[in-house]
Amino acid sequence: MELPVNRETWLQTAVQALEPIFSAVGYGIPPLKVSCGFAASSSPRTTLGQCWPRQRSGEMVNEIFISPKIEDPVEVLDTLVHEICHAIDDCQSGHGADFQGIAHVVGLEGPARMAMAGPSLKIRLVTLSDKLGPYPHRALNFPPPRPSNSSRSKAKCPECGYEVTLLKRWVDYGPPICPKDKVRMESFSNEILEEQPTIETVDEKQKEFIHRAVS
- C-alpha to C-alpha distance for 67 and 170, rounded to whole angstroms: 37
- C-alpha to C-alpha distance for 108 and 79, rounded to whole angstroms: 10
Residue 46: predicted pLDDT: 82
Domain span at residue 163 reads 153-187
194 belongs to a structural domain = no
Residue 207: predicted pLDDT: 43
Residue 147: predicted pLDDT: 58
Same domain? 84 vs 169:
no
* Cα dihedral across residues 40, 43, 49, 50: positive or negative: negative
Residues 6+ apart with CB under 8 A from 26: none
* pLDDT tens for each residue of 109-151: 999 999 999 999 999 999 999 999 999 999 988 777 665 555 5
Same domain? 167 vs 66:
no
Same domain? 41 vs 123:
yes
Q: What is the CA radius of gyration of the chain?
A: 23
Same domain? 118 vs 174:
no
Give mean pLDDT, residues 42-53.
Answer: 86
pTM: 0.69
- C-alpha to C-alpha distance for 48 and 99, rounded to whole angstroms: 17
The count of structural domains within the chain is: 2
125 belongs to a structural domain = yes
* pLDDT tens for each residue of 55-76: 999 999 999 999 999 999 999 9
Residue 41: predicted pLDDT: 66
* pLDDT tens for each residue of 157-177: 999 989 988 887 887 888 899
Q: Do residues 9 and 133 lie in contact, with contact meaning Cβ atoms separated by under 8 Å?
A: no
Same domain? 87 vs 157:
no
